[in-house]
Amino acid sequence: MTFQRARTDEQRSQRRRQILDTAAAMLTEMPVAKLSLNELSRRVGLAKANVLRYFESREAVLLDLLDAEIRDWITELETARADDDGDGGTARERGDRLADTLATSMARRPVLCDLLSAQGAVLEHNISTEVAIRHKHAARDALQSLVRIVLRHVPELGAQGAAALVESTLLMAMTAWQCTRPSDAMLAAYATDPELASMRLDFTDLVRRTTAVTTSGLLARQEPSA
């Protein structure tokens, strides 16, 4: 392919979109750790140096993808059915339903979970201050949106409680994703020894239970002392 430099803002935007779309497709085939800039460049049909005209590093590409994945996830949560909102049942019951919604929706988004699990240790390195600032602004906006969603379901938590729940849920999801992706050797061990099979963790169940317990704990701490 003969490289043709994008000369207008629209062309540059299209080229960036092409790179992001290609990286997103690759992440449906492989984990973040195996996505290389060389392979991304090959699939896009550009030299590595030309890809770097649009993104300063592999990590910058993946951070943009993470921000996009989170926005899509939030849109899904915001358009949930009205009967999932916060006016049916006790605060604890609504918290349990919210925990299930968050866990199951994240489990349906393996690319989001994989990117989140790599965020601090990988994606936020090898980037410029400019990219870091842009990413953190996007992350702040996302957190604020998630807090509003939590308050829609469990207003009793208040803003601080909702923020604490969002932070705890995201941190648990980051850790749970890594712990629930066993290696081939561990899968073989679970299959071979039934006594070990019960030790295999399930991402959805782990995030659901932790989020539900955290919600109950935050609600209990807000109750007035006897």
Residues 5 and 105 in one domain: no
Residues 111 and 35 in one domain: no
Residues 188 and 150 in one domain: yes
CA distance 62 to 65: 5
Q: Is the pLDDT at 225 greater than 90, yes or no? A: no
What's the token pair of residue 76? 């899904």
Segments forming the whole domain that contains residue 35? 1-55
Residues 92 and 177 in one domain: yes
Assign residue 200 a region (left: φ > 0; alpha: ψ between -120 and 50; beta: otherwise).
beta
pLDDT digits (tens, 9 = 90+) for 168-191: 999 999 999 999 999 999 999 999
Instruction: Give me the chain's average pLDDT, please.
Output: 91
> Which is more confident, 9 or 12?
12
pLDDT digits (tens, 9 = 90+) for 18-72: 999 999 999 999 999 999 999 999 999 999 999 999 999 999 999 999 999 999 9
Domain count within the chain:
2
Residues 142 and 33 in one domain: no
**If we measure between CA atoms, which residue out of 66, 59, 132 comes closest to residue 51?**
59
pTM (predicted TM-score): 0.87
Q: Chain-centre distance of CA 147, in angstroms?
A: 15
Residues 80 and 176 in one domain: yes
- CATH number at 28 reads 1.10.10.60
Residues 85 and 109 in one domain: yes
Residues 169 and 218 in one domain: yes
